[in-house]
Amino acid sequence: MDKSNNAQESFSYTYSAAEQAEIRRIREKYEAPTEKEDKLQRLRRLDRSVTQTAQAVSLVFGVLGTLILGLGMSVIMTELSAYLGLTGGTTAVGIAVGLFGGVLAVLAYPIYNLTVRILRKKRAPEILRLTEELSR
């Protein structure tokens, strides 16, 4: 057997375009970002943080309000008032608790808008500075 003949035989494989794109995406995760990419990532993160924070705050108000509304309904419709030690006026207490919960739930959207407005005002200088640097 001739050694030179074995050395010439080789195997070659080319990846498809989709596989090449996946390889590039994986490689980009491990490469050090350039200064421009780093600033762009920071800009995206700041922009996302405004809406995500506002969504979390309004979601807490909405869920809490809905649960309190349900508690008010339970006081009226079940024997929960007896367990709570309420003897008279359970309907009035249930309605009051339910209305309070309903108000909290209804305020979730205005709270979202207010939070977005406050956070945008707070983050505006940094976002405007980054957009100026990136648009040059």
- What's the pLDDT band for 33 if we cut at 50, 70, 90? low
How far apart CA 89 and CA 80 sit, in angstroms, is: 13
- Summarised one tens digit per residue, pLDDT across range 42-99 is 888 888 999 999 999 999 999 999 999 999 998 888 877 677 776 677 788 889 999 9
How far apart CA 29 and CA 25 sit, in angstroms, is: 7
Q: Compare 61 and 19 and report the one with higher pLDDT.
A: 61
For the chain, what percent of residues have pLDDT higher than 90? 38
CA distances, 133 to each of 21, 47, 49, 51, 119 (Å): 29, 16, 20, 23, 21
In order, the DSSP letters of 12-51 are -----HHHHHHHHHHHHHHSPPPHHHHHHHHHHHHHHHHH
Q: What's the mean pLDDT in 29-34?
A: 74
pTM: 0.65
What confidence score (pLDDT) does residue 74 get?
A: 86
Highest mean predicted confidence (pLDDT) among 24-33, 41-50, 88-97, 115-124? 115-124
How far apart CA 76 and CA 93 sit, in angstroms, is: 8
Sort residue 85 into left (φ over 0), alpha (ψ -120 to 50) or beta: left
